[in-house]
Structure 1
Amino acid sequence: MNYFYVFSGKKIKRIFFLIVAALFAAGVVYVESDNITVFSEGSPSAIYSVPTEKKVVALTFDISWGEKRTGPILDVLEQKGVKKATFFLSSPWSKTHPDLVKRIVSAGYEIGSHGHKHVNYSSLSDEEIKKQITTAHDILGQLTGKQPNLIRMPNGDFDKRVLRIANNLNYKVIQWDTDSLDWKNPGVDTIVNRVVNKAHPGDIILLHASDSCKQTHLALPTIIDQLRAKGYEFVTVSELVQQTEMKNKTIQDKTTMQQHFHDAIGL
């Protein structure tokens, strides 16, 4: 016995639209997959760099002690016309160097937290981790007049607990993709070559402005010149993150639009 299947025009139309919608969704996920990975829903994660095709990088400076290197670094940034950078300040240093903090803020640079005690937070209890973050938050807020929402943990150390607690306190944990290793004082040329050769679009570059880093201010002018020669612009960490969050929102909007499309054709 032979069987014949009869497809109405309406069914064919629905199948066609279903295939088109599926291909559209696959394309969006493929193109924006990096953005979804960085800002995926679920457990909090640290940010090392931001996926983008734009030639933008964020210069970041950690400061935890000393007063000899910060001024020269700020001088270089001013002389080179770099108006956007992010400084991660420890709260004890900030309390003892309010004039330098004021200068950083007055220059318009972004302030992030570098915590309170300079210890590995993964070795602390949940309550102590929270105390370290909130103590630094209160001190930096009082000194700068702004509430920081970025934090770089001392020594770059964290675990899932630290990420979760920081996230609950409305902080984004910021790491880096390019490490200058300037704290080793390996030589000006070595610092320059390491940063310039490793830098890439969306990169977060780690530098230091503490006294132990004696060559950073000497390497910085050449780093700035060579990155600019490659077509890079300097932005804050928040600007990098915001750029990707906007792209991620675009994905969500496209997904919602696709669902409305499905509903409209009865799929």
Structure 2
Amino acid sequence: MNFFYVLNGKSLKNISLILIAAFFTAWFLYMQNLAQIPVFSTKDGPKAIYRGEKDLALSFNIGWGDEKAEPILNTLKKEGVKSATFFLAGSWAERHPDLVNRIVKEGYEIGILGYAYEDYKSLEDAKIRRDISKAQEVFTKLNVKNIKLLRAPTGHFDERTLKIAERYGYTVVHWSVDSQDWTNPGIKTIVSNVEKAKKGDIVLLHASDSAKQTNKALPAIIEEIHHKGLKMISVSEMIANGHVSSKEIK
């Protein structure tokens, strides 16, 4: 016995609308997933941390330059900020041992930003290992101990980076709020970008010479954080004994 389904114009229209809606829903979810790609974890392996569940962490990248790091340290001291995390490129630390010593002496946390500020996604595994090892040697010579955090120099990384970092004993740290200060968009814009920060966020700032407006934006950023009733802590303090967020590499 044969069965036939008769579809009238109205049914065809309804089915078409359903298919179109399904397509756009799938496309929206796909694009949303792409927007979240910068933060990864392997299914059963190492994770890249990008936010926690308590307080707020200011993090500063320093890859190069001679002029901006010291004024930022002065501002943090003036504003009474006791905790922050500085991710330092080994090549910069090598040339500025006094500033590295000051960062440690004033109680701030140091993380590794590689050595030569190269994009890890574009490097072979051996070159990533060499870059991390070279940075390690610098900090060992500078007597900076117990570094546990690593940030991919350009912010770009993949599963390989996570696994290599884990072998060296490092946790990869990304960020959840980007100040965009390195683009020098204006002090008000930098402050506005950081105003989005909430409990558990890791904020990305820069103390390299390319970030010309960061230091002037800092007092307003710190004031806003205080206004929200948030305590500023190091990244390690944030992720210790707490829930942290990551996303899985597919």
Provide the TM-score with structure 1 as the length reference. Answer: 0.74
**Cross-structure match for 1:217:** 215
**Cross-structure match for 1:46:** 48
**Cross-structure match for 1:199:** 197
Matches for 1:226-265 after TM superposition, within 5 Å: 226-244=224-242
Q: Which has the higher helix share?
A: 1
C-alpha change, 1:164 and 1:223, in structure 2 (3 Å) is same
Select between 141-150 and 62-71 the one with higher mean Cα deviation.
141-150
**Cross-structure match for 1:147:** 146
Q: Is 2:157 the partner of 1:158?
A: yes
Alpha-carbon distance, 1:143 to partner: 1.1
Alpha-carbon distance, 1:41 to partner: 7.2
Superposed structure 1 runs of 4+ greater than 6 Å apart: 38-41
Alpha-carbon distance, 1:39 to partner: 8.8
C-alpha distance in structure 2 between counterparts of 1:118 and 1:214, whole Å: 19
SS of 1:62's partner is: strand
Gaps of 5+ in 1: 1-37, 247-267
C-alpha change, 1:85 and 1:144, in structure 2 (3 Å) is farther
**Cross-structure match for 2:136:** 137
**Cross-structure match for 2:206:** 208
C-alpha distance in structure 2 between counterparts of 1:204 and 1:171, whole Å: 17
**Cross-structure match for 1:167:** 166
Alignment check: 8 A CA contact 2:61 2:87 kept: yes
Alignment check: 8 A CA contact 1:105 1:144 kept: no
**Cross-structure match for 1:182:** 181
Counterpart residue identity of residue 71, structure 2: P
What do residues 124-176 of structure 1 show as CA deviations (whole Å, max 9, x unaligned)? Answer: 22222111111111211221431311011111011111111111111000000
Q: Count residues with an aligned counterpart.
A: 205
Alignment check: 8 A CA contact 2:121 2:157 kept: yes
SS of 1:222's partner is: helix
C-alpha distance in structure 2 between counterparts of 1:199 and 1:232, whole Å: 10
Alignment check: 8 A CA contact 1:137 1:147 kept: no
**Cross-structure match for 1:110:** 109
**Cross-structure match for 1:24:** none
Gaps of 5+ in 2: 1-39, 245-250
Counterpart residue identity of residue 174, structure 2: Q
Alpha-carbon distance, 1:40 to partner: 9.1
C-alpha distance in structure 1 between counterparts of 2:219 and 2:93, whole Å: 25
Counterpart residue identity of residue 115, structure 1: G
Provide the TM-score with structure 2 as the length reference. Answer: 0.78
